[in-house]
Structures are given as C-alpha cells and as structure tokens.
Structure 1
C-alpha cells in the first residue's frame, strides 16, 4: 500500500498557499481590494472559506503576500535582464508597461505603502525592510558602474538608490492619477542623469 495522503488544513501547505495567493491576485486585479472577498478568493482557489483563513487571517495579509510575491518575481527578472546601467532603462520601461496592464494592483500597492507608514500597521515592517533591501541591492549594483567611471562622480551609489526609488514610485503614483501621462520617457531621462557626463 502507498503512503496515506496528509489530511487537514495544512496538507500541501506551500502549494495551497501559492494557489490562494494566485487567486487573490486575480480577484484584487478584477474587483479591486475593497470589493474582493475572501469567499470569492476561496472559490477561485478551490477551497472553503474556513480553509483559506487557516492560511491567511484577512485580506490585509493576502494583499501583503500578493505584493511580496510580485516584488520577488520582478527582482528575479531584473537580475536576469539587467547587469549594467545601459540595460536599466529598457527594463524599467518594460516593467512599467507591465504594471500599467494591471492598474488596480499598482493603485493597491501605492495605497498600502502609504498606510504602512504608520508604525502600528501590519505591513509596516515589510515595507521598511523592502525599501532597505531595495536600496542596498540597487546601490550594490551601482558600485561596479561607479568603479568603471560610468556613474556620475558627484553622486554616490547609495544616494542614487534613494533617488531611484523616489522617482520610480513617484512617477507611478502620478500615472495612477493621470493615466494619459507619459512616465516611461522621464524614467529614461532619470537613468541618463545617473550616467557620467562623458557617457550621455
């Protein structure tokens, strides 16, 4: 006889959680965060409402997980596609166009990031660590560029990393408010500004 399959709410937990997160991502994108319900997400994931709350207590937890998964996917894509400043602007343009296909997720990310600025918000620690990690990783990549004279001499990698996140997030916020606004052009302009004067 073969081994008995595990039973109960924790059976196949990693795969089950991944399915719930996928279902939540679809529901948030289609319905918006406010209108998405845990029951709809459970239906999409093929489980009961009770089964879902064994893994995620509420929509806030699910939204944070959806955004964390998206962050991880995009970071891996960036590592695979960008190994120099020359490749950064084309990659960012592609990434922004991808985000613009799911404006509701972009809007939810902006709203959650603002709400998480409160120290008592459940996603506060995640966002603090996310920005710390993002700045450190971006600055680390720029150190090689600086060593080869490709980064502006009057701008440190650490300060460039802070500016990078401010520009990217600020432009996406402006686009959510005005979808006709071109934000890819300004991203390209910003990347050119990072380059040493002789390279522009």
Structure 2
C-alpha cells in the first residue's frame, strides 16, 4: 500500500492517513512499525532492493554476464510498473533539498556505478572488451539509459521497449554483442 501511494503521489503528497487506510491500519498503527513517514519510505525502498537482490540468487553475475543481467532487469521491470514508478518518482524527488531519500539514492547510484564498472573491468581483464574502455563513463551511460528508458516507458509504454533498447545501447557503448540469454530450461 505504501509503495503504491508513494509511487503515485510522491513522498511529499503521500499522506500517512491514506497509507494507513489502504493498509487497513490506523496512522498510529503505521507509526508503531515505522516511527516516521521517512522511516516508512526507507522501508519501502529497502523492500524494493531486497526484491531485486533476491532475484540474483546465489550471487552477482560477473563481466558481460552482469550486463546481460541488466537487460533481463529491464525486461522484468516492464512487468513491474508500480516498482518502476516508485523508483522514477522518488529518485527524481530526491534531488530536492532535505528529501529523506536523498542519501539512499546517492548511495544506490554510487553502488550501481561501482557494480557496473567492476563488471566492465572484469570483462576487460577476461579479454571480452578492449583495453582502454572508459569504464566509469560507460557505467554512467548504462545507468542513465536504463533510468531514462523507465521514465519514457511510464509515459508511453507502447512506444518504448526497455529491454531491447537497453541491450542495443549497452552493445553500442562496449563495442561487442552481449552473450546470448542463458538457457534456463535445463
């Protein structure tokens, strides 16, 4: 309930009263579990991250497999409009002074940049990508494309194919095709 309310109204326009009503609780009941509206927001964002981490299973993919995973994430996101909307709204709102999710998003972006940059360095070390690849710039570009596509998709879902576009842009940035999707049947 809180995720949907924050996603549709943003942090500043979402009320604890509405969230409590949708959850079948009183405001006091919500505050008993989260203490503050900012605490509830943090809990919602952590739940979103836990869902993404759970999908990774035993560990993060390495090298080009991580880039393939990002394409798969874009494909899954096309089936999770609420989560995509939550992320898009709150990440944009977080750039305003005093927003309670600002540090969360700073940390999230720093972590994403490092994960993508590490995968790119792994691919270079394995000989799958050319030495001299501007790893930090490519990592920033991949993240920017994914986030930008999410906003475009939310505004015009029929006009934007997030996974296909993500794959094509990643391949253009790294200069090689991504490995094929692993066969999950066996």
Alignment-derived partner of residue 38 in structure 1 = 19
Q: CA offsets, 1:93-142, max 9 Å, x none? A: 43223322231331222111111102311111111111111111221222
Q: Report if aligned partners of 2:133, 2:174 keep a CA contact under 8 Å in 1.
A: no
Partner Cα distance (2:104, 2:28) in 1: 26
Match of 1:120 among 75, 78, 98: 98
Structure whose CA Rg is larger: 1
Q: 1:84 to 1:32 in 2, by over 3 A?
A: same
Q: TM-score, normalised by structure 2?
A: 0.74
Match of 2:118 among 106, 129, 140: 140
Q: 1:199 to 1:176 in 2, by over 3 A?
A: closer
Shift of 1:62: 2.2
Partner Cα distance (2:169, 2:18) in 1: 40
Task: State yes or no: 1:189 paired with 2:173.
Answer: no
Gaps of 5+ in 1: 1-22
Q: 1:39 to 1:123 in 2, by over 3 A?
A: same
Alignment-derived partner of residue 142 in structure 2 = 164
Alignment-derived partner of residue 59 in structure 2 = 80
Alignment-derived partner of residue 176 in structure 1 = 154
Gaps of 5+ in 2: 180-186
Between 1 and 2, higher relative CO (CA 8 Å, sep ≥ 6) is seen in 2
Q: TM-score, normalised by structure 1?
A: 0.69
Q: Which moved more, 1:118-127 or 1:171-180?
A: 118-127
Q: CA offsets, 1:166-192, max 9 Å, x none? A: 011011111011110222211111222
Q: Which moved more, 1:103-112 or 1:67-76?
A: 67-76
Aligned partner of residue 80 in structure 1, secondary structure: coil
Partner Cα distance (2:178, 2:146) in 1: 22
